[in-house]
Amino acid sequence: MSIISLCEPKYLELKNRLIQIQDLEAAASLLNWDQTTYMPTGGTYARGRQIATLKEFAHQKRTEPIIGKLLEDLRAYEKSLPYDSTEASLIRVTRRDYERAVRVPPEFMAKFSQHQAVSYEAWVKAKSLEDFSIVEPYLEKTLELSRELASFFPYKHIADPLIDFIDEGMTVSILRPLFNQLRQKLRPIVEAITSAPPIDDSCLYQHFSKEEQLKFGYAVIQRIGFDFQRGRQDETPHPFTSSFSIGDVRITTRVYEDNFSEALFSTIHEVGHALYEQGIGLELEGTPLAEGSSSGIHESQSRLWENIVGRSRGFWECFYPQLQGIFLKQLSPVSVSEFYRAINKVARSPIRTDADEVTYNLHVMIRFDLELAMLEGKLDVSDLPEAWNERYKKDLGIFPANDSEGVMQDVHWYGEMIGGMFQGYTLGNLIAAQVYQAAVKYNPEITVAIERGNFTLLHTWLKQNIHQHGRKYTANELIHRVTGKPLSIEPFINYIQDKYSNIYHLKVPLSA
């Protein structure tokens, strides 16, 4: 009897057990989505308990000894299969997850999940009142729990296990020099652009009705390829994407009637995540493979659609006439060239999510450094607002108006953990440029198609080369498969230099 016939029943048992775990995780995610969209605030503590219960059950099932035994029994089966087969990939990825999960006690996961739920609500209140003291004790507890989580793993740096959770293979020893190299390249570019005459972007800060903004955004993302039969869009204070299955992927946005850019570009950003989730191969449904490869790969998809496509001249050659027709009073005097320059204005902004492509990564690196300092015990939570403001003054030459604009602007530390929360954004920018370069090299017609409002060529290429694989490959494996090269900062730097030299009419091309 062959290895395959002997092991097939055990593989099916493993898969069925994994589906049960994924169902529990999906139910917890659905409760979390509801909490951040429609749940009344009175349900906060009960919702925290409910999510914690599901997370605890899922963790218990994930760490059952039978999972470890099945994985051990399937080693020979795994080796007999091609590396990229669904079966071998599922066993390989499950083994990584299992070996990580058994290190963390279920009661700790429940405790941390419940704390995250109540911390999130404290953050919402503190941010609205511009009062950091409200959320400070919750953040101190989050730091304590983040350190405890890291302590369950061997590490060279305390942040390494936390980073590895969402960007497998990345460590502080890799990211610090990478970020230093990127910072050195970006600073002279930022200086050159901000020394040039500023772009007038006042056309974006008129009154744009909420209803019409949402309607336009809906049309844009439907044209890009978001399947509303398998997804929906809602509003929330901090935009995010949730996937409960390949057939149920939900995005959120926020709308400001005095700022056109916010809703549209956050919507396109989130739909980049959603296209990834909707594009995962159906054969992976209900298993740990039905997720993105890493935070960096996921962010590469959102940043690619938001910036490389959504802020391109070709994109607006297609959509601007439609936008002008909707907001005739506001935009009839504004040419497509003026609008294109406005949405790509470079400025030293205090808000990460509002930042342009050139300065954005400086925001990420500030957060990365601060969370490392907190984990290392070099920065107390009580001193975080002051440290935040000092770094913004030093790195970007600006000072936040208040803590809601400063240290409380992002939800990550308040609703999740401290450590590994931000590096994926910069990795995503780097990967996006490298992936798009590979796509256009494969099919140069992609750029022409975008000008004509045809996004199918790019969407299909991304689905075939990235989306359908889910978690089959690590980020490094996937980057090399797609581009033929390891991760590099050069495609991103070249993209920034070329684009913004033209936008700012610089006689001397930007150099790093």
- What residues are labeled active site? 270
| Residue 58 parent element (H or E) | helix 44-62
Q: Each residue of 125-163: b (16+ CB within 10 Å) or e?
A: ebbeeeebebbbebbebbbebbbebbeeeebebbbbbbb
Is residue 70 within 8 A of residue 13, CB to CB? The reply is: yes
Burial of 482 (0-12, 13-18, 19+ CB in 10 A): buried
User: Torsions phi, psi of 457, nearest 5?
Assistant: -60, -50
Report the C-alpha gap between 251 and 266 in whole angstroms.
10
Beta-sheet pairing, 241-245 with 248-253: antiparallel
What long-range pairs does 76-82 form, CB within 8 A, spacing at least 24? 76/3, 76/7, 77/3, 77/4, 77/6, 77/7, 77/10, 77/11, 80/3, 80/4
What's phi and psi for 343, nearest 5 deg?
A: -75, -10
Q: Kindly tell me the sign of the dihedral angle through the C-alpha atoms of 219, 225, 229, 232.
A: negative
What is the distance, to the nearest Å, from the Cα of residue 241 to the centroid of all Cα atoms in its chain? 9
Distance CA 404, CA 388 (A): 12
Query: What is the CB-side half-sphere exposure of residue 298 using CA atoms within 13 A?
Result: 25
For 275, other C-beta atoms within 10 Å of its C-beta total 27
